[in-house]
Structure 1
């Protein structure tokens, strides 16, 4: 009987700690699937916990348990109130200053109607279309949806929205079946053909894909993957990155050849490619969708091998570069590459001289979000990153935009600097 009481008490304290942790992390992207019912469910469980604590707790355990439960209730309600306030503040924004900040955000969506006012007022710079936007729909419906948003921009006298997607081919083909599914780019290497023929095949592949994307209104494709193929098997907790399946080759020269021809094929159809994921994920075992990750490969080796496709393709095409959420401790031990001012300014903009578009990987991925979305947003903008992607949990756009606005008001971000950068590098989409 005593063992049963001890076990019950331990489970009770563990449950209470879990609920408190949940309240502190209310609306975490990992819980997006239950967003509509999340607060009600959490509060219901906390009320039940309070009742149980009142009924079964004894001595000092009762006030401690009740205090923790009530603190969790207040924490959840405060987080909900802050989220609603951020949304309201952003929706009330307008004018040139808001448009300068908004131009840096690409957001995903469930319902395009939720984006209409943001697009019309210039509070976003682009949209991200993916599997949830094509499921059960026709190409004509998606094309009309995108065209409707672009019409709002024209009527407001604003530049067109950047329309981005993730159509790599193979396992990552977000717009299929609306866009014909193509095999992974790496399959082009299966045929033993001369170098010129390989480039032609890759260029034709890109042109075919580009025409299909352009017909929908897509202007930026987050492809090709130019991370080198790792020699090791994927880690046990690698659920989504799976670079071994998505990389073109482990050979930098072959990767460069195929990626360049593919990017040029996309561009022939009016779609720009994106080289991802700098600084290269071949040496990363963790899945940045969920966990913090560190790249331990020496910078000298990265420069000699992994960075070659990024440098060479970017100098011969208009491809953007996507920044991954990995820490490259040799250059910046504190912040992921995606919002490291030192790496962006000293390496990419400085040593490389790259002046094209830089876009973050999705800031709602765990490796970035767990650093603090506000901090990641402000640091990425301050570092000179052009486009901030908030795709999976697009509600987080309101928190990020609110943070950017506060940073401008406090002087932590220079609005004139953001305006100059936008004019220089986003001009090609206007």
Structure 2
């Protein structure tokens, strides 16, 4: 998500059972088997500057912590991978279909919602909502301190999925637990147990091989805290002529190499490979790119129109590279791209999500929104419509920083399902994509 001054995104976790621990290592085998390898590294910008932070609720830099210049973490020691047979894509899809068919309509809709949890919030209260509303995901927002604290919250939230669903019927479908661990000013989980991750600009000075190794180390820290999804890497390219005037990305040095989509693609792919190797699902964002806007969609609707990007733009290449490397999720921005769709913001645009991302780029994984809970760019859109319009465009998971919005979104989706057979088919397809991801993450199974 874009950078702003309030708390940033949060994280999700697999259940802490022996089988879940094994699932993390087997995920690396499952997903890397489908991933393409990328090219060599190329140094990027050098010095690390610390812009004054502006707040955000989801994918923006954490405003609080003081920044220190992190040193590159040591390469991870060799680890063993499980020898259990990995599910084939066909088996995974078939299992996801069976799981989806076993869910009630309310349970299916819940799988498409991811809600935020702040450090000041109550994980017990949210766990009750997870069980009651059958929510499929949670994200840690606002800057959490210490792996132990995060792990405890993750365990409580995952336990709620077993209390709130029929384990025999659903296979005990777990939560997607997400965090925003890009690095630099966008790192929501810090303190004991978490490395100080440098910004993307500094990551690009390491070379792709070293970056992949470091990302694997950072991602293992996430798995130990019960986080299974990282809302990173950023695949946006900021033109050198715009630089820090690009509020969401350039200002916070969130792009790997300014003005160079080819280099950004190599580093995005390297980040994806490191994440997958540790059993964490990476998310390439913010499609089709926030590098050419001046406004930050988290805090304003002004300056959030990109009049340059087209369906054949070279700035799309980093997203394509991340997808080829095996990224199972893509986050869609809430900016406008009139050369692709003159009527709708990207997350509400069939031309962007279905025609361009799924069609031209061939992405068949999970598409997730940027925050639609507190973001000013979508504030004028009724809460329920933020969910239904995104799913109608071809998206899957609606991310809201405000858990209190989930009931309204659920009701709107359910009402639209009853009114429109075409929309109902889209919901079913989205649920199956989300469940297929959970099967690969070891959060659900069909037994056998």
TM-score (norm: length of structure 1): 0.70
Task: Specify every segment of 5 or more residues in structure 1 that has no aligned partner in the other structure, as ranges.
Answer: 1-29, 33-94, 192-197
The 2-side partners of 1:242 and 1:397 are apart by 32
Q: Which residue number in structure 2 is paired with residue 163 of structure 1?
A: 177
Deviations 1:237-296 (A, max 9, x none): x4x555551111121121111111111111111101111111111111111112222111
Summarize the Cα distance change of 1:420–1:282 in structure 2 as closer, same or farther, 3 Å threshold: closer
Provide the C-alpha distance between the structure 2 equivalents of 1:170 and 1:262, rounded to a whole number of angstroms: 15
2:292 is aligned to 283
Moved more, 113-122 or 315-324: 113-122
Task: State the Cα deviation string for residues 4-47 of structure 1 (Å, max 9, x = none).
Answer: xxxxxxxxxxxxxxxxxxxxxxxxxx999xxxxxxxxxxxxxxx
Aligned partner of 2:308 in structure 1 is: 297
Aligned counterparts of 1:401 and 1:242: Cα–Cα separation in 2:
35
RCO higher in structure (CA 8 A, sep ≥6): 2
| Shift of residue 401, structure 1, vs aligned partner | 2.1
- How many pairs does the alignment contain? 325
Q: Secondary structure at the match of 1:290?
A: coil
- What SS does structure 2 have at the residue aligned with 1:286? coil
CA distance in structure 1 between the partners assigned to 2:159 and 2:142 by the alignment: 23
> How is 1:233-244 mapped onto 2 (pairs within 5 angstroms)?
233-235=243-245, 238=247, 242=250
Alignment CA distance shift 1:168-1:227 (3 Å): same
Aligned to 2:61: none
Question: Which whole-Å CA distance do the structure 2 matches of 1:337 and 1:144 have between them?
Answer: 36
Match in the other structure for 1:148: 156
Q: Give the superposition deviation at 1:122.
A: 5.3
Worse overlay, 181-190 or 209-218: 181-190
Larger deviation: 408-417 or 271-280? 408-417
What RMSD over aligned residues (CA atoms) do the two structures have, in Å? Answer: 2.4
- 1:184-203 matches, within 5 Å, as 184-190=199-205, 198-203=207-212
What SS does structure 1 have at the residue aligned with 2:411? helix
* Within-5 A mapping of 1:86-101: 96-101=104-109
Partner of 2:190 in structure 1? 176
Q: Please give the secondary structure, in 2, of the residue aligned with 1:168.
A: strand
Between Structure 1 and Structure 2, the one with more helix by share is 1
Question: Contact 2:262 / 2:318 at 8 angstroms: preserved in 1?
Answer: yes
Is the 1:119–1:152 contact (alpha carbons within 8 Å) kept by the matching residues of 2?
A: yes
**1:163-188, Cα deviation, whole Å (9 max, x unpaired):** 01101011111101242211113213
1:367 maps to 377
Secondary structure of 1:127's aligned partner:
strand
Match of 2:147 in 1: 139
The residue correspondences of 1:88-127 to structure 2 (distance < 5 A) are: 96-109=104-117, 110-121=121-132, 123-127=134-138
Rounded Cα–Cα distance in structure 2 between residues aligned with 1:424 and 1:173: 27
Cα deviation, residue 120, structure 1: 2.2
SS of the aligned residue for 2:292 comes to coil
Structure 2 unaligned runs (5+)?
Answer: 1-54, 58-102, 439-443
Q: Deviations over 1:172-206 (max 9, x none)?
A: 11101242211113213336xxxxxx121110121
Q: What residue number does 2:397 align with?
A: 387
| Maintained 8 Å contact 1:105/1:388 | yes
| Pair 1:233–1:348, CA change in 2 (3 A) | closer
Cα deviation for residue 326 of structure 1 reads: 0.8
Q: Secondary structure of 1:181's match?
A: coil
**Higher-Rg member (1/2):** 1
Distance 1:168 1:414, change over 3 A: same
Map 1:327-342 to 2 at 5 A.
327-342=336-351
CA contact (8 A) 1:322 1:358 kept: yes
In 2, distance between residues paired with 1:228 and 1:31? 21
- Where 2:107 maps in the other structure, the secondary structure is helix
8 A Cα contact 1:230 1:243, kept in partner: no
**CA positional deviation for 1:349:** 1.3
Give 1:150 shift: 1.3
| Contact 1:143 1:216 (C-alpha < 8 Å) held by counterparts | yes
Mean Cα deviation higher: 378-387 or 122-131: 122-131
Partner of 1:50: none
Counterpart contact for 1:341–1:379, Cα < 8 Å: no
Which is further off, 98-107 or 176-185?
176-185
